[in-house]
Chain A
Amino acid sequence: MSNIPTELRYTSSHEWIKREEDGTLTIGITDHAQKLLGDLVYVEVPEEGVQFGEGDDCAVVESVKAASDVYCPVTGEVVASNEALADTPELLNTDPYGEGWLFRMRPDDETAFDNLMDADAYAELVESEEH
């Protein structure tokens, strides 16, 4: 069973999104995604200041098996990225919703978060993929 925190929002490509108090969004990959990928060995996060559109590939996570793109859930600008992942990519496996965060962005549209999939909808999606 995958851990799906209720306070987060999700995408169908298995990113999670957390709204911070300052209105920025923190983005990572879900517990379900890290389980599918297996042991992560390399992560490429976007640089600060880069602009992405919704659905753009903005990061790469590589397991022993394969490289997978991470897609930007909303349009906006990257304001921080998790530098620790360069040396400890396994944080995505051990703490996908915490230390394993990928990057933070300021969305162009502040309401973008509210339009993302909630935990119930994501749980349903995961369930349909597991069966």
Chain B
Amino acid sequence: MGKKTPLHDLHVSLGAKMVDFGGWDMPITYGSQIEEHHQVRNDAGMFDVSHMTIVDIRGKPARDFLQHLLANDVAKLRDRGKALYSCMLDEQGGVVDDLIVYYLDDDFYRMVINAGTTEKDLAWLNIQATGFEVDIRPRKDFAMIAVQGPRAREKADRVLGEMATELKDLGVFFMHDYGDMAVSRTGYTGEDGYEIMLPEDNASTLWLQLLEAEIKPCGLGARDTLRLEAGMNLYGADMDETVTPLESALGWTIAWDPADRDFVGRQALQAQREQGVKKKLVGLLLEDKGVLRNHQKVLVDGQEVGEITSGSFAPTLGKSIAFARVDAGIGEHCQVQVRNKQLNARVVKPPFARNGKACL
């Protein structure tokens, strides 16, 4: 029996098919995964993401600590509420986790980390916090609901009442708090929307209100195809401790300047950058009929050059797409070994689809 979010019983009553996800009993779909995907691209859908872990970091040295801990630099966060995507690395430059960190005050930052990596991450945070007087507190008392899609904010605002007036000017990648709730304009779908953090006892009421506002519940299945189309990595599939951000299409998240910021993993990354990376993460678009899947081999002229890390059917494109880790020198064309056939694929730069439309 997996862990349950505060919305678990509601998912079951809505007819969701439940699956294990990182030790949690989560809805994969409420009916049709493809319909849920289109719902988010074209209108508004919501996801229970309460399995993810919110971690509050408080204390005067919070900023120094995060500048030590993260490959991206929280010094970029000058406005309160602003968010930053970053990897947390080990000394070898391997990715311990990817996360979003919010700057809430000079002595108060909030991170959202992955569900499956929570225990490992918290242990790592506590080791790295040696010498920094910070309070690291996982907020198990919070639930989180993501409302995503071109009409998600408009529909959610109807439910959020007075708070909505304060959200009017909420910028992309900003958080706003209101009483015991916090709303951020972030997500994992490539669409506009909110992620709403709230006390777990209030989660069911809000979920039902959002349902009433015609925001359709969507499962982790649609969340996965949406994020893949949007060109967003999934921890554990597209990267882990065995690869660096440079090998994971996340070079843009490394803040090299200032040169004297000695974050964990910096030396290893710098050495790798100087030597040149041998593998990189690319997008693939399948040109033949079929479906790309995780771990299928990528070939050029019959020689293996890499492997698919995430592959699926992309509902917005009506084609199959993937991320693959391949030799850095790969050209535009490759083949993928699918059962006994080699199918033709094109190497492309993600995203594949965002804001309701295909990008290719």
Contact = CB atoms under 8 A, between A and B. Distances in A.
B46 to A, nearest CB: 19
A53 interface: no
A64 interface: yes
Contact of B313 (A44, A62, A86): A62
A67 interface: yes
Contact of B290 (A38, A42, A64, A66): A42
A41 interface: yes
B291 A67 contact: yes
B272 interface: no
A38 B312 CA distance: 14
A64 B289 contact: no
A101 B315 CA distance: 23
- Which size bracket describes the interface of A in this complex? 10 to 19
B293 A64 contact: no
A64 B339 contact: no
Interface string B325-357: 000000000000001000000000000000000
A86 B289 contact: yes
Interface stretch (B27-35, B59-67, B77-85): B27-35
B221 interface: yes
A39 interface: yes
A93 to B, nearest CB: 8
Contact of B33 (A62, A64, A86): A64
Given A60-B339, A62-B313, A65-B221, A38 B291 contact: no
Contacts of B28: 65
B32 A38 contact: yes
Nearest to B28: A65
Given A67-B291, A86-B289, A41 B313 contact: yes
A52 B313 CA distance: 29
Query: Which 10 pairs across A and B sit closest by C-beta, in order of nearness?
Result: A41-B313, A39-B34, A62-B291, A42-B291, A64-B33, A64-B313, A38-B33, A39-B33, A39-B32, A42-B290
Interface of B: 28-29, 32-34, 221, 225, 289-291, 293, 312-313, 315, 320, 339
Interface of A: 38-39, 41-42, 44, 60, 62, 64-67, 86
